[in-house]
Structure 1
Amino acid sequence: MKEIFIEKREHIRRVAIKDKEKLTECFIEEEKNEPIPGEIYKGVVKNIVPGIKSAFVDIGYEKNAYLHLTNETIKKGQEVLVEVMKEELNDKGAKVFNQVTLPGRYVVLSNDKKGLSFSKKILSNEFKIKCKENLVLPEKLGVMIRTQGEMVSVDSIQKEVVYLSEKYEKIKRSFLYSLKPGLLHGEKTILNKVLRDAVNEENTKVMVDSSEDYSIINEYIKDKEDISIDISLYEGHRNLFDFYGIEKEILTLRHNKVNLECGGHIVIDKTEAMYVIDVNSGKNVIGKSIDRTAFITNMQAAKEITTQVRLRNLSGIILVDFIDMESKEDKRKIINILKEGFYGDKNQTVVYPHTELDLVQIARRRRGKTIYEYMEEPCKSCKGEGKRLKASYITLLIKNDILKKDGENSLKDIYIEMNSMYEKIIRDDLFNFVKEINGFNKNIYLNFTEGVEYFKVEPLIFLKQIENLSKYKIDFDEK
């Protein structure tokens, strides 16, 4: 059974997907005033740089969006209909295309080509013929039937084509009559994407902790013939991700070393230009020969790599250094394992054959940020070369720990030790820290030390403990 956990906090929504009790995907959505992939805008071309075949487009934000020119007729001052493909990154504005798409559960509508096409994963000629003979297509738009479309009736597909066509016409009218650059269409939350892509005909259990999200999901699944969902509203004392052990699993994604069942391991490192994954046999002694040991390690590594890439949302160029193998057949099997592992991945992913140096290249389109970008920040004590957990994330973990202990004993006095590297950022906004950990109704004793990796939370039960730690107590005035 597939399980989807959706946790909503003040400015952030997190979604974790488990398949057969194994964490397979994790999405994080921050509420920011920035363009989001999939949104459609009216833009105005502000500048054209022929040397790099690029245009910079005002879409209503401080940073101009970047448009790679495939249509040389675009001119400065021209109004363009664009879709965001990549979000803003550092000082760079969002990347946009001037071909837009409208994805549904069964089809994707696009304005860059006409006619009917099918997902490469649809192999049934009978289904294709049935669609070609019965579907009525919009005149100037392309319709691509998604894999999920094969599971429903042609009538259901037709209804979605009509719905998306009407939505596109509405976007076009808004584009023509809007006076300024700005947003024309966009899914407000990650919920729509998850429900559209992750929920299908198999039984799915959805757990949410927000009544708002609960209502959105119930409204979405209404009248959907191919969806079987058991949705529950979590109202427990602790945070949803902490209660179900997901927080602990997410934390392990920071580790660059991942062990394999055979005794081997993979190591994931990031360079300026790409991700590099090294496969090591380690303690693997399975197999009667070196070649057999190498194949078993590489096979398990290939499966784990697809899992880790999707979980961590790695993108761009990913270079894998597998253990050398002589057999061309064994190499082919490893490539097939990688391709199968990325089957169903909504981020376009291409796996290339082994190079002459026996390296495997994977290209994965960027959609959203990596898990690291939400959890980590540069470590100032390492002069920016290392990474540490964000103070905001540490605060969340402390809150979880307090809620867990408080639920057991209803505590009044809490002692918190934090690593000294967080002292300045916490003390500069102590009021907000106490607020975020729900500490206003408790006595909080806060100490910064080099003696803990990140933090430690202890309940103070005895009077002697409280007296010994009194100097660390946050006074009411500070709160």
Structure 2
Amino acid sequence: MKEIFVERNGSVLRIAIKKNNKLKECFIEEDSKEPFPGEIYKGIVKNIIPGIKCAFIDIGHRENCYMYIDRKFKNTHLKKGDELLVEVVKEAIGKKGPKVTNAVAIPGRYCVLNTLDNNISFSQKIKDERVKDYIKQGIKKPEDAGLMIRTNASKVTLEMINEEVDFLNTTYKDIKRKGTYSLKPGLLYRAGGILGKILRDKLDEVTTKIYVNSEEDYEEVKNYITNAKDVNVFLQIHREELDLFQFYGIEGEILKLRNNKVQLNCGGYIIIEKTEAMYTIDVNSGKNIKGESMRKTAFITNIQAAEEIANQIRLRNLSGIILVDFIDMQDEEDKENVFLKLKEGFEEDKVKTVIYPFTELNLVQIARRRVGKAINEYMEEACHCCNGKGNRLKLSYINLLIRNEVKKVKENNNIKNIYIEVNDGYKKHITEDIISFIKEIDSLDISVYLKFTQGEEYYKVEPLLFSNQLENLKMYKIYG
């Protein structure tokens, strides 16, 4: 049983996926006006650097994007000043601009329209040759584009596939028309953002419920599932005062992802660390003393760790190079079983992941394609108090949590005064724009008393009910 939770709070959209009541994946999207993967732009080549086989493309954003020059992309003929359609494949990272490609693809539920080739290809999960032949013979492929047939296509009629192909082709022609007649570089097409991607990639026959908290998302999801004949899912709009993630206990589970230590049922644990070049995951036996021998203890810990590592990588959206240091095992069969358990954890993962066999040092290397940011990048920022050596929760995330607490207080009482404590590390940013802070925590209709404190707690929210409280705390009043 799979459930999808879609919570929109202001400019932040968060989507959580639970399977058998266990949090499996979490996605966050901020409306930051930054180029987002899947978006298609009209671009102009501003510069080409042959030494690194890279072109820099102006898409109307404040910084240029970069694009690799390669024969397989059929873009080696490009020169400065050329206009072209590009698709964003990676968000900006630090000072590095977004990555784009001229291999523009328009995704649907049953197929993907590819503009770089003119072929028909199939998902590796479609293995029945009769199904492939049936689709090849009956599909109405556009003359100037190729198609990649997705796994879901094997579950619906050929008529439905052709309807989607026609829709994707119409969309592509519209994008080309806009690109031809627009005078400046800029955005031409959005693929529905992270919500559209989740509906296309994660909604399947085992999905039983989708919860949303906004009318806009309700209508979008309703329209999608009405046309997706291969699913039967119950859609519910959340109308409680308490936010969706708090109501279903997801907020606490997300905050746990800030911990680098994850306990295993056997008593062992894993440690997840980020370095400049990669992620490292260390497996420790901890309190696991149940095994009859060292070999048994190591195997039990490693097999549980393998399952949890796959879960944590997907849940935290870790990418790039991931190095796993398992407890030493000498038996080749034990190694093979642990390796297979690790691979099993990525079978339903849509992100391309390659797992390399054990090295002589009992290390396993994982390479996972980057799709969006890791969850911590949305939640944390460098802590200036320790010169960037540590991380703290982002102020925007603190504001979201405070807003949830304020709504909870308002729900239970007719409260007109709220007392808030926030770690003084956030003082400078809050006091620079008090009104924006008040808006962020949805408190324009009440009086707010704010005190900055030292200590490990990031925030606290309490109602003020009595006149003596208001008198004692009047020096902290910042609004109302």
**TM bucket, shorter chain:** over 0.9
Report what 2:202 is aligned to: 198
Verify the 8 A CA contact 1:63 1:92 in the aligned structure 2: no
| Residues 1:246 and 2:243 are matched in the alignment | no
Secondary structure, counterpart of 2:382 in structure 1: strand
1: CA distance between counterparts of 2:413 and 2:269?
A: 41
Q: Secondary structure at the match of 1:216?
A: helix
Q: CA deviation at 1:372?
A: 1.1
Cα distance, 1:373 vs. partner? 1.5
CA distance in 1, matches of 2:199, 2:115: 24
- Normalised by the length of structure 1, the TM-score is 0.94
Letter in 2 for 1:314: L
- TM-score norm. by structure 2 comes to 0.94
CA shift for structure 1 position 254: 0.5
3-state SS in 1 of match to 2:478: coil
> Which digits, 9 at most, give the CA deviation of each residue in 1:123-166, with x for residues without a partner?
22332232233333333432222122222223322322232223
- Matched ranges for 1:53-64 at <5 A: 53-64=53-64
Please say if 1:432 is aligned against 2:405. no
2:104 to 75, 96, 100: 100
Whole-Å separation in 2 of the counterparts to 1:97 and 1:216: 28
Quick check: 213-222 or 451-460, which moved more? 451-460
Deviations 1:54-106 (Å, cap 9, x if unpaired)? 11111221211101110322222222222111012222221111211111111
* Amino acid of the structure 1 residue aligned with 2:297: T
Aligned counterpart, 1:45: 45
- The one-letter code sitting in structure 1 at the alignment partner of 2:225 is I
Residue 277 of structure 1 is matched in structure 2 by 281
CA distance in 2, matches of 1:116, 1:78: 29
Please tell me the residue identity of whatever aligns with 1:230.
F
- SS of residue matched to 2:29: strand
Asked whether 1:317 is paired with 2:313, we answer no
User: What code does the residue aligned with 1:6 have?
Assistant: V
One-letter code of the match for 2:170?
A: E
Residue 237 of structure 1 aligns to a residue in which SS? coil
Residues 166, 466 of structure 1: CA spacing in aligned structure 2 closer, same or farther, 3 A cutoff?
closer
User: How far is the alpha carbon of 1:108 from its aligned partner?
Assistant: 1.6
Determine the structure 2 residue equivalent to 1:33: 33
Residues 449 and 479 in structure 2, CA contact (< 8 A), matched pair in contact too: no
Structure 2 SS opposite 1:298:
helix
Where in structure 2 are there 5+ consecutive unaligned residues?
none
Q: Whole-Å Cα distance in 2 between the matches of residues 178 and 448 of structure 1? A: 51
Q: Equivalents in 1 of 2:450, 2:183: separation in Å?
A: 54
Amino acid at match of 2:48: I
Deviations 1:395-454 (A, max 9, x none): 221221222233233333332222121222222222222232233443433221214521
Distance 1:415 1:180 in 2: 50
1-side partners of 2:442 and 2:173: how far apart? 48
Q: Is it true that 1:88 corresponds to 2:92 in the alignment?
A: yes
Cα deviation for residue 475 of structure 1 reads: 5.3
Whether the 8 Å CA contact 2:38–2:193 is kept in 1: the answer is no
The Cα of 1:310 is off from its aligned counterpart by 1.3
Q: Distance in 2 between matches of 1:374 and 1:390?
A: 8
Q: Which residue of 1 aligns with 2:264?
A: 260
Q: Which of 257-266 and 441-450 deviates more?
A: 441-450
Are the structure 2 counterparts of residues 426 and 328 from structure 1 closer, same or farther at C-alpha, using a change threshold of 3 Å?
A: same
Unaligned stretches of 5+ residues in structure 1: none
- Which portions of structure 1, spanning 4 or more consecutive aligned residues, are displaced by more than 6 angstroms? none
Q: Residue in 1 aligned with 2:340?
A: 336
Q: Which residue is equivalent to 1:220?
A: 224
CA contact (8 A) 2:36 2:193 kept: no
Following the alignment from structure 1 to structure 2, what is the Cα–Cα distance between the partners of residues 36 and 272? Answer: 24
Q: For 1:150, what is the secondary structure of its paired residue? A: helix
TM superposition shift of 1:380? 0.7
Deviates further, 33-42 or 107-116 = 107-116
Does the CA-based 8 Å contact 1:417-1:452 persist in structure 2?
Answer: no
Structure 1: distance between partners of 2:156 and 2:206: 13
Q: Which amino acid aligns with 1:55?
A: A
The verdict on how the C-alpha distance between 1:203 and 1:93 changes in structure 2, with shifts beyond 3 A counting, is: closer
Please tell me whether residue 14 in structure 1 is matched to residue 11 in structure 2.
no
Aligned with 1:347: secondary structure? Answer: coil
The answer to whether structure 1 residue 149 and structure 2 residue 166 are counterparts is no
Instruction: Give the fraction of aligned pairs with identical amino acids, expressed as a percent.
Output: 55
